[in-house]
């Protein structure tokens, strides 16, 4: 698992950067894997998505609604496999408030950690241990060391969780000079002025022109032309981002080589994913959080030994709640009833006509606290996306309310999500239908504060 690695930055996803991005090893993995095209985070921010990936539950069930909320010791895919006799370990980025549980071994970065000479929290050690070198190399070394020294009589689950490609987008030799002499393609909507969308879209401080030096040390133009400024910063940002990810991709290759060298590839499932997506200049944005596709869409590539030698793609609507049930199911353990996702194992076994979901429920809770993103929830189907910015902190942040707003996108006509058609009479039936579906998903997932939200909004939105 990587961090903030958008599908557009991965060659095999064939996005607008596929001709330049440097991901030969992930692409190699995809050549003998099932690649999922439509996978979405249900709360697009690091810690909450990680909690969902581990538990198979929405934020309101696992307790991690926003960054920096405790992840109580609870049932996870790892704890289930550990109880089933698997040797379990996690190395690298953890980014949850409490120490890992359900793992026989762990070495994890404290909070964000560092790219160079990172410090790790290790199981059974009270003090941090600094390792010399580059984080992605070290995390891979730790994984290979575990694979080499583990109990050879037990099956295993190891989670290798890279820091890349999270800001501040650093890299090392020789990847730090990639793309030096080329201009990287820009997304078509990099100069989006948000004129056909909600205030929530223009309020956010995710614009490239607003990037701060702490997030990423960059040069700026002396200009009031926001479009020119975005494009100027974009070239620096995207090169740094793709270089950062290239170091990680190199280490994906090291792991795959190790599995092949030892024969472990013949009976090991390999999963590549990231904790969410990331804006790579689309809408003029960087970062994530919003429900727009570039933010919520996750890579998911699964290689199962029984399907080696074939490359397939799946277009079903998958969510990060499905990851834990899949891992449990792949280990032939019973998926607990309280996990809210579905196992993807049938797809890996060749199924194509499953009775599958037709909409994904999304909810972002961290109202305004970072980058002025208003709290919102919504539904994404294959054809439409309906977003409700209720704009309430609901006790999770101390920020004032923002006015409630809706957005509707017709993804068939407008895949870049540029024009909000919520108020268009031609879409009234679609709105009514999606609102009913959204309500049903909230009931299904037991996210039951609708009445409270409606009551607060009816009273006025002032705190």
Beta carbon of residue 247, minimum distance to Ca ion (angstroms, whole number): 17
Beta carbon of residue 40, minimum distance to Ca ion (angstroms, whole number): 14
**Residue from the set 3, 69, 87, 329 that interacts with Ca ion by CB under 5 A:** 3
- Estimate the share of the chain in helix, then strand, then coil, as percent rounded to the nearest 5: 35, 15, 50
- Closer residue to Ca ion in complex, CB, 165/301: 165
Q: Rounded to 10 degrees, what is the CA torsion of 61, 62, 65, 68?
A: 160
Beta carbon of residue 373, minimum distance to Ca ion (angstroms, whole number): 14
| Contact track, Ca ion, 409-438, x by CB under 5 A | ------------------------------
d(CA 64, CA 95): 11
Beta carbon of residue 7, minimum distance to Ca ion (angstroms, whole number): 14
- Closer residue to Ca ion in complex, CB, 4/293: 4
Q: Does 186 bind Ca ion (CB under 5 A)?
A: no
343-to-290, 326, 331 alpha-carbon distances in Å: 26, 4, 11
Beta carbon of residue 154, minimum distance to Ca ion (angstroms, whole number): 31
- Closer residue to Ca ion in complex, CB, 3/186: 3
- Closer residue to Ca ion in complex, CB, 104/275: 275
Beta carbon of residue 333, minimum distance to Ca ion (angstroms, whole number): 28
380-to-39, 249, 278 alpha-carbon distances in Å: 11, 30, 17
Beta carbon of residue 278, minimum distance to Ca ion (angstroms, whole number): 8
Q: Does 329 bind Ca ion (CB under 5 A)?
A: no
- Closer residue to Ca ion in complex, CB, 6/438: 6
Beta carbon of residue 173, minimum distance to Ca ion (angstroms, whole number): 25
- Closer residue to Ca ion in complex, CB, 272/406: 272
Place of tokens 């909600």: 198
Beta carbon of residue 93, minimum distance to Ca ion (angstroms, whole number): 8
d(CA 134, CA 30): 26
Contact 450, 377 (CB under 8 A): no
Number of Cβ within a 10 Å radius of residue 103 = 22
Helices and strands in the chain: count of H runs, count of E runs: 12, 17
- Closer residue to Ca ion in complex, CB, 100/359: 100
User: How many residues appear in the chain?
Assistant: 463
Q: Does 4 bind Ca ion (CB under 5 A)?
A: yes
Q: How far is CA 295 from the centre of its chain?
A: 8
How many binding residues for Ca ion (CB under 5 A)? 4
d(CA 288, CA 276): 8
Beta carbon of residue 376, minimum distance to Ca ion (angstroms, whole number): 18
- Closer residue to Ca ion in complex, CB, 46/81: 46
- Collapsing DSSP to helix, strand or coil, 254 comes out as helix
- Closer residue to Ca ion in complex, CB, 144/290: 290
Q: How far is CA 361 from the centre of its chain?
A: 15
Helix (H) or strand (E) holding 335: none
Question: Which segments within 94-223 are labelled E, that is strand?
Answer: 105-109, 119-122, 129-130, 156-161
Q: Does 407 bind Ca ion (CB under 5 A)?
A: no
Beta carbon of residue 49, minimum distance to Ca ion (angstroms, whole number): 7
Binding segment toward Ca ion, per CB under 5 A, in 45-53, 153-161, 387-395, 397-405: 45-53
Q: Does 322 bind Ca ion (CB under 5 A)?
A: no
**Among 204, 171, 128, 220, which residue's Cα sits nearest to residue 376?**
204
Contact 425, 363 (CB under 8 A): no
Binding segment toward Ca ion, per CB under 5 A, in 40-48, 203-211, 263-271, 331-339: 40-48
- Closer residue to Ca ion in complex, CB, 112/381: 112
d(CA 176, CA 35): 28
| Contact track, Ca ion, 249-288, x by CB under 5 A | --------------------------x-------------
- Closer residue to Ca ion in complex, CB, 289/390: 289
Residue nearest to Ca ion (CB): 46
Contact 58, 75 (CB under 8 A): no
d(CA 411, CA 128): 48
- Closer residue to Ca ion in complex, CB, 146/162: 162
Angle at 235 between CA 231 and CA 239, to 5 degrees: 155
Q: Does 46 bind Ca ion (CB under 5 A)?
A: yes
- Lookup: tokens for 278: 């990331």
Beta carbon of residue 249, minimum distance to Ca ion (angstroms, whole number): 17
Q: Does 167 bind Ca ion (CB under 5 A)?
A: no
Instruction: For the chain, report the end-to-end CA distance as a whole number of angstroms.
Output: 40
Binding segment toward Ca ion, per CB under 5 A, in 4-12, 145-153, 180-188, 212-220: 4-12
Q: Does 296 bind Ca ion (CB under 5 A)?
A: no
Q: Which residues bind Ca ion (CB under 5 A)?
A: 3-4, 46, 275
């Amino acid at each position: 698992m990587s961090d903030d690695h958008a599908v557009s930055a991965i060659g095999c996803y064939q996005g607008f950067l596929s001709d330049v991005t440097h991901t030969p090893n992930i692409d190699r993995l995809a050549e003998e894997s099932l690649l999922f095209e439509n996978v979405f985070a249900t709360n697009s921010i690091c810690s909450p998505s990680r909690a969902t990936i581990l538990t198979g539950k929405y934020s309101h069930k696992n307790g991690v609604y926003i960054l920096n909320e405790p992840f109580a010791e609870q049932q996870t895919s790892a704890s289930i496999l550990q109880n089933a006799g698997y040797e379990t370990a996690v190395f690298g980025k953890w980014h949850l408030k409490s120490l890992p549980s359900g793992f026989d071994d762990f070495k994890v970065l404290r909070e964000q950690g560092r790219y160079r000479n990172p410090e790790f929290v290790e199981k059974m050690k009270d003090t941090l241990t600094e390792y010399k070198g580059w984080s992605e190399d070290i995390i891979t070394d730790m994984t290979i060391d575990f694979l080499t020294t583990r109990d050879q009589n037990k099956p295993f689950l190891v989670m290798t969780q890279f820091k890349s490609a999270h800001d501040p987008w650093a890299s090392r030799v020789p990847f730090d000079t990639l793309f030096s002499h080329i201009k990287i393609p820009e997304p078509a909507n990099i100069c989006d002025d948000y004129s056909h969308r909600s205030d929530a879209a223009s309020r956010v401080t995710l614009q490239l022109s607003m990037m701060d030096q702490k997030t990423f040390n960059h040069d700026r133009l002396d200009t009031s032309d926001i479009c020119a400024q975005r494009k100027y910063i974009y070239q620096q940002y995207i090169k740094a981002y793709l270089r950062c990810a290239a170091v990680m991709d190199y280490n994906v290759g090291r792991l795959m080589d190790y599995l092949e060298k030892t024969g472990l590839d013949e009976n090991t499932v390999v999963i590549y994913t990231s904790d969410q997506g990331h804006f790579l200049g689309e809408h003029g944005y960087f970062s994530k959080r919003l429900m727009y596709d570039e933010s919520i869409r996750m890579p998911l590539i699964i290689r199962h030994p029984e399907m080696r030698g074939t490359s397939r793609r799946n277009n079903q609507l998958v969510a990060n709640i499905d990851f834990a049930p899949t891992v449990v199911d792949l280990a032939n353990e019973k998926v607990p009833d309280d996990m809210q996702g579905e196992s993807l194992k049938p797809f890996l076994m060749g199924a194509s006509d499953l009775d599958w979901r037709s909409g994904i429920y999304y909810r972002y809770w961290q109202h305004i606290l970072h980058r002025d993103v208003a709290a919102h929830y919504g539904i994404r189907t294959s054809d439409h996306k309906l977003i409700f910015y209720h704009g309430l902190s609901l006790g999770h942040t101390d920020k004032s309310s923002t006015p409630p707003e809706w957005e509707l996108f017709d993804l068939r006509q407008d895949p870049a999500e540029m024009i909000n058609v919520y108020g268009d009479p031609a879409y009234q039936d679609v709105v009514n239908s999606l609102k009913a579906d959204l309500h049903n998903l909230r009931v299904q997932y037991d996210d039951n504060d609708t009445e409270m939200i409606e009551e607060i909004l009816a009273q006025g939105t002032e705190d």
